[in-house]
Amino acid sequence: MRNLTLLTDLYQLTMMNGYFNKNVHEDIVVFDMFFRKNPCNGGYTIVCGIQQLVDYINNLKFEENDLEYLKNLNLFSDDFLELLRNFKFTGDIFSVEEGSVMFPNEPIIRIKAPLYQAQLIETTLLNIINFQSLIATKASRVCFAAKGDSVLEFGLRRAQGPDAGLYGARAAIIGGCSGTANVLAGQMFDVPVIGTHAHSWVQKFDSEIESFRAYSSVYPQKALLLVDTYNVLNSGIPNAIKVFKELKEQGHEPIGIRLDSGDLEYLSKQAKKMLDEAGFENLSIVASNDLDEYKITHLKNSGAKINSWGVGTKLITSSDCPSLGGVYKLCASDDGNGVVPKIKISEDPEKINNPGYKKIVRIYNKSKKAEADLILLDEENIDTNQPLTIFHPIHTWKKKTFKNYSIKELLKPLFLNGECVHKPKSVMEIRQFTKQELNTLWKQYRRIECPEVYKVDLSSELWNLKTEMIKEKKKDSL
């Protein structure tokens, strides 16, 4: 992986220099990364990019040309630059497992490290996790809309640059896509690659049927033909049927057709009828053309005869929600006398962070369905032999008591004392884990529109701490 050490905002470095100047740079601090809102007005977020975060931390190093560049900015002392010359991350990082399904205001990554080290990694951490989690979540929504049909990631040519194309494809696979058209992503991440031919292939030949025969002669076992170059019903499908019959006579099984324009509902129904009448009842009908979860839902509900979906622009760019607003907030500090909780006060209640060194547990019922998440202070423990009552962190009169339940702690170590303890998984293994995670959610949390809000509550101890700190800060500001 490339050295991304300078992929940061300038103010991270100026603050680090200031901390060094004030001799507080080695103070131990705790930062949480969390997001305040699910993307696409959805009910959940899939956390993605953890492996790239690990690679980034492992490769943190200021090269000589980096130091020379920083020196020429005339912003940093020589002593500070010497500190950077020997930089190595020495802290602890805990995170949820990559592919986890998470919810607003939960600490999905927790950093405990010397102040200057924790400050440096903020921007790149957010850059990695925000984008990949956004695309994984968008892909999951698209796959949910497809109701078990294969969804293929087609977005490279519309992605915001090569990195977005590569890591967006990776995230899309984790979110549930069956394959990607991105060949480099296939090589880098060992995921399935897919693709047939474009309209230009058909245009190159003197006739449509000649182009179909030529393609099928090269790939007789992978004959999936694009039928909308000229006229879907009058030429595309009739010519495809002729070629499919020729393939059958040669002992080959064609795969199907692809529609990339027009009224996909009507055309797919007519195409299915024509293929069935010709004896090709089991062929795939693949659709593409600016699809997203909303269009796919409409087409499924209208009875379109499509069983595979190529989704590009609106997936790789998450066009209706172009960013995940993940944030990185200081929540505790340790100057050697113990951990001191920190809180940020805002006129907007949603922007008041949860203080302290925290963990998250997920509560499951006896059927292993997720019922709620609880954020606790790290030293708190739950006795699952006893009933557990949780309450809404704002509307505290809303309560729920669990009996016959189980819990799972969600934050796991990536780095301890600067040493990587993370065991990487393949993308396809992460994809399978995500599928299992999603299956623990009730359907109402996964609805494309107007999903039910999943319960994320605070323990009584954390709620009391937060409430008292808000009172104290408000009193100090009067």
Residue 478 has pLDDT above 60, yes or no: no
Give residue 346's pLDDT band: very low, low, confident or very high (50, 70, 90): confident
pLDDT tens for each residue of 149-164? 999 999 999 999 999 9
pLDDT in tens, 117-145: 999 999 999 999 999 999 999 999 999 99
Residue 477, pLDDT > 80, answer no
CATH classification (class only), 10-135+322-343+411-451: alpha beta
Looking from the CA of 182 toward its CB, the CA atoms found within 13 Å total 32
Q: What is the mean pLDDT of residues 2-28?
A: 96
Domain 196-289 fold is TIM Barrel (3.20.20)
3-class SS at 316? helix
- Using alpha carbons, select from 67, 110, 48 the residue that is nearest to residue 411: 110
pLDDT in tens, 236-255: 999 999 999 999 999 999 99
Q: How far apart are CA 40 and CA 266, in angstroms?
A: 28
pLDDT, tens digit (0-9, with 9 covering 90-100), for 378-425: 999 999 999 999 999 988 999 999 999 999 999 999 999 999 999 999
Count other C-beta atoms under 10 Å from residue 57's C-beta: 23
Confidence of residue 351 (pLDDT cuts 50, 70, 90): confident
pTM: 0.96
Could you tell me the residue ranges of all domains in the chain?
A: 10-135+322-343+411-451, 196-289
Tokens coding 39: 């993307």
pLDDT at residue number 167: 98
Gap between the Cα atoms of 139 and 177, Å rounded: 7
Q: CA 167 to CA 128: how far, in whole Å?
A: 9
The answer on pLDDT for 335 being more than 90 is: no
